Chain A
Amino acid sequence: GENVEQHPSTLSVQEGDSAVIKCTYSDSASNYFPWYKQELGKRPQLIIDIRSNVGEKKDQRIAVTLNKTAKHFSLHITETQPEDSAVYFCAASRGGSNYKLTFGKGTLLTVNP
C-alpha cells in the first residue's frame, strides 16, 4: 500500500518568513495530493490540493509543488502570519473515489510574532 513520509515534524519560523513542508510517497499510481490544516482544537480542513497532471498550484500565500519522477510534493507558505500556526498534514491517493487517502504524520508549524 501507499506510504507517505512528512518532514519536518515541527517547524518554527518568524512572522513574515517562509515555511516549507515536504512529503514523499511510495505508490507511483497516486495522482491526488491534498494538504490539510488543523488548528488547535479544530477539525482538519483542506487548504490546497494538486493533481498529478500539474506541477505547481498557488492560492494567495500558499503553493504546492509536485515532482512525480521523484515522488515528492511540498507545501510552501510565504509571508507567514501567527494564524498560520497549526498542524499541517499531507496526503496521497490513487484515482477513483474508492481509494483511501494516506496521510503523513503531520507537521506542527509555529509562527512567532
Chain B
Amino acid sequence: EADIYQTPRYLVIGTGKKITLECSQTMGHDKMYWYQQDPGMELHLIHYSYGVNSTEKGDLSSESTVSRIRTEHFPLTLESARPSHTSQYLCASRGDGSSYNEQFFGPGTRLTVL
C-alpha cells in the first residue's frame, strides 16, 4: 500500500548524540517536507525538497540537516542533539502534476532529548 513511513516512531536519547530520523514514501512523490510540531500544535516547516539532490531550508531555522539521494528517501540528521530539539517531527510528501495535489503526512517521530 502506498504510504509514508517514519522510523523510529519514538526515540529517547542523551544530549550530544547524533541521530537520524528516517522518512520513506512509496507514493512516487517528488516533493517531500519535514515539519516540527511543538506541544502547542503548530506545524513548523524546517526542510523541503523538490526532488533528488534538491534541499531547501524551511520557515523555521533548524540545526538539523537533510539529504535527498533517492526519490523515496528523505532522512533528517541532528549532529548533536540537545533538549531544545525535543519535539514531534512529521515527514510529508506531495505529488507533482497539479497545483491541487494532496499533501500526505507520515505518522511522525516523537524525539525526547535528555
Contact = CB atoms under 8 A, between A and B. Distances in A.
B33 A43 contact: no
B55 to A, nearest CB: 14
B90 A43 contact: yes
Given A43-B108, A44-B90, A101 B103 contact: yes
A42 B100 CA distance: 23
Chain A residues touching B, range: 20 to 34
Interface residues of B, number: 28
B96 interface: yes
Given A89-B43, A103-B43, A98 B50 contact: yes
Interface in A92-113: 94-101, 103, 105-106, 108
Interface of B: 30-31, 33, 40-43, 45, 48, 50, 58-59, 90, 94-108
Interface of A: 1, 31-32, 34, 36, 38, 42-46, 49, 51, 87, 89, 94-101, 103, 105-106, 108
